Structure formats: C-alpha cells, structure tokens
Amino acid sequence: MALHNFFTVDLGATSGRTILASFDGAKMELVELTRFENPILPLGGHLFWNLPHLYNEILKGLKKVASQGVSIDSIGIDTWGCDFAFFSDDGQLLGLPYCYRDPHTDGAQEKFFAKMPSGELYRRTGIQFMNFNSVFQLDTLLRNGCSALKAADKVLFIPDALSYMLTAEAVCEYTVATTSQILNAQTGDLDPEILNALGLERSRFGRMVRPGEKIGVLTEQVQKAVGMGPVPVIAVAGHDTGSAVAAVPAESADFAYLSCGTWSLLGVEAPAPIISDDSFRENFTNEGGVDGTIRFLKNICGMWIFEQCRKDFRDAPENVGELVALAGTTDFASLIDPDAECFAHPASMTSAIDDYCRATAQAVPSSPAEYCRLIFRSLAFRCRQVVGLLGELTPVRIAALNVIGGGSRNAFLMQCLADALGLKVICGPVEGTAMGNALVQAKAAGLCDSLSSMRRISKASVELAEYFPKRNMDSEYSRFLQIQKQYNNTL
C-alpha cells in the first residue's frame, strides 16, 4: 500500500500540537511537527482562549508540511469540550472565546434550573452537571447581555470554529456537541426545548456531522497562505477524549478506559446511552463516540492539581519525570478528594491542599515529594471509587484499565492505580488522541472499515506498558473514603 499522510491537530487546555500521521497499511507512525502553548488569557475580568493564536499555529504546521514536500490526504482537529466561539454573518470572529475555567458560571446551574429542572435536563441529554457545560455558559452570557452572542450568526464549538476558519463551512461535530449538555441523547441532535430555554435557534450551530464525514476543503485564501491545494478537512471525533478512546488498543469489551491528562475521564464504552435515576444521582455522563458508541464516563480531576502545584514549588526539579519520581522517595500518608470544589480554581493549589489537610486533621505536606505522593495516591483512590460505580451502573465486567494520554507515562501513578484497583493497567498509546484523530481520517479515506480495525492498527503501532497489582490497598482506600466524608461534612 502507498503511504498515506494525515495532518492531525490536537489541542489541549494547556498546549497544542500538530502531528503528521503516516499509515503504511499496517501501522500508523506519528511525528510531531510543532508544539505550542495554549495559555488562558485574563482580560477585562474574565478568562479567554486566544483562538487566532491557535489558528495561526495550525497554519504554521501546514506550512511546515508543505515546505517538506509532503502531500497530505486530509486534516482533522480535536480539542477540549464545552467551549465555543461566535462568528458574524460575514464570517468574522466576534471576540475571544470564553474559557471554561472562568468563574462567571459559578452558581449558573441553579439559575438555569429555574427554566428547566435538573432531572429533565439530564433525561434529555444524559450529561453530567458541571458549571462550565455549554448550556450554563450560554445561559450566563445571555443573562449578562454578552454583545458577541447577541450579534452572533454562528455559535461553533472550538474544533468546529477552527474548521470553519479553514474551510468557511459551519458544522456541529457530534462528539464535541455531546459535551455541551444541549444535545438530545436519543435524537443525536441539539434539543429544541433546551435551545428554546436559551432563546437560541438551531440554525446558529451549523449542520450536524459525525466522525469520518467531510467538512469541506481549505479555502483559496488558506491554500495560498500555506502552499497547499484544496485539502479536505475531516470531522474526526472533535472532542479529544472521543478521539483518544477510539485509539484504545482493546480486543474485547470488558475494559474501562482512563484518558489521563489535565482532566481524567474514566468510563466504559456502551452501545447506547445509560440514563437512569442512579446515573443521574452519581452524575455520570453519556458522550458520543466513534461508530455510534457512547462513552459512559465521569470527569474526575486529572493532572490539573499537579500542574498547578508545580507553579508553587520552589527548589524542585523542572523536569516532570524527575519531579514525579520524588513521589516514591517518601511515605507521606495524607490524602485529598481531588474532585473537591476547593481544587477547581484556587489562587494557590498548594495552599488549597494545605487547607484540606488541616480541615481533615491530617499532616500538611512540607516538600514537593510529599505533595506529589499525596496527589497521585489520591487520584488512584478516586479512580477506584469511580470504577466501583461503573460496576454498579453498567453490565460491563471490567477486567483491565486502559490508560491513554500523557499521564500514562507517570510510572508512580500507574502502579498506584494497579494497586488501588487490584487490576491490570495497560498504558498506551501515549499520543492516544492524535492516534485516534488520524485513525478516523484513515477510516474516512477507506483504509480501515470499523472501530475494531482502528484499534488493531493502534495496537500494532505502539509499544504498550503493563502494570500489575503488587499490594493490597483496601485499608488505605477505606481511609480515603473516611477523609472524603469527613471533609464533605465540614461544608
């Protein structure tokens, strides 16, 4: 088979990459082209994303490919979920997109529930409740009289906004739309009653597309700017977790996945939405996946706490690997609930941890090593708690945990997970999101025919690491639950 090349854009909440994925018929090889920061911009009392910066970085990646004389088959873009951008009827960007971490949505859920009760919203969407879900962001902007929203002809989620800037075609990609808590889980389109509660028209969101559909081709302006022809832009799983889960190298259905990055998304794959009183009570979500699958999962805190603590550390290794290794040099035993609200956006993450430990009568960390150990062990126990809930809410009998994303390189955390869960932990691909993005493009090109074939290619393309339980953590897990309950009782 001739070599096929796919240009993948993978944008996370802290950084982005453009990657050239080359497929020889058996394996997918990923080569990073560019890497860049994606900083949150504090401006005018709010937090924003610099969308023009991200667009320009995509152009830089395309120019680099063109300068190397590489012909690409297509382009695919994946990003984080929930956020969106506004465009005028002549295609101009109206202001910068709000960042989901902007605290303007604090308390927004309760205000929207006056329009539509929480139970009805969950029944329609099957999506977990988080302040920054698109439905609450949009309602907040409407209540605050946002001028950009008032003037907007198009409301496009972030991957769709970037595709629009490249192609002038406005679409609403299914997997990222499911994160909004506006999409109806049964119909697969935006829910008219929720839109009515927001006072927004369906036409403003673009046509619905599924992973593998063609969005359009590069505009003539972009073609001239980057030195390429009319390259197709494909709707991959626009939500980065959807792309990552598509690359899980699983051979059967009895697995759970953990997409481990700034956020940790822990769940199982289901053929249809799971919407029940129990899933509503436990705040589980039903997000769209590739080939009609549903990602039944729970958002839990990932490496966010660690990333924010690094900003506070003094005299600590700058190298992440060296810093992570410090966790194994101490027996510090304090724990936190990583999903406690106090860790959402504190002014100082180490201070927030200190306060949590004091509130639960535990020792306060005194070194980077102790903070790291506390964070990683707490994440592992929180994962065990969620895996237990998955066992109660779904028919999946979990035999292993597949970890994808950058966090899979954290050997200390991976061993903690194996010990806490009492399960085999399979790690890889590290670049799971970019791999899934490229595999959807390959499927769109007719080079593979199903999700299972995509996963076989993923497994053949990477070297996996495996971790097995080494010690029983039941007593320490019980202590974690007690600490979690103790803190919640103080609120």
Instruction: Report the catalytic residues.
Output: 240
**Burial environment of residue 479 by CB neighbours within 10 A (0 to 12, 13 to 18, 19 or more):** middle
Question: Residue 269 carries which DSSP code?
Answer: E
Residue carrying structure tokens 């980065």:
240
- CA atoms of 433 and 406, how far apart (whole Å): 10
End-to-end CA distance of the chain, in Å?
Answer: 61
Question: Residue 394 carries which DSSP code?
Answer: S
CA contacts within 13 A on the Cβ side of 402: 26
Q: Are strands 28-37 and 15-23 parallel, antiparallel or unpaired?
A: antiparallel
- CA atoms of 362 and 381, how far apart (whole Å): 17
CB proximity list for 296: less than 8 A, separation 6 or greater: 267, 268, 269, 270, 273, 274, 279, 284, 285, 286, 390, 393, 394
Could you tell me how many residues make up the chain?
491
**Contact, 301 vs 338, CB < 8 A?**
yes
- CA atoms of 77 and 7, how far apart (whole Å): 9
- CA atoms of 180 and 84, how far apart (whole Å): 10
- CA atoms of 477 and 489, how far apart (whole Å): 19
**Contact, 418 vs 468, CB < 8 A?**
yes
- CA atoms of 243 and 79, how far apart (whole Å): 9
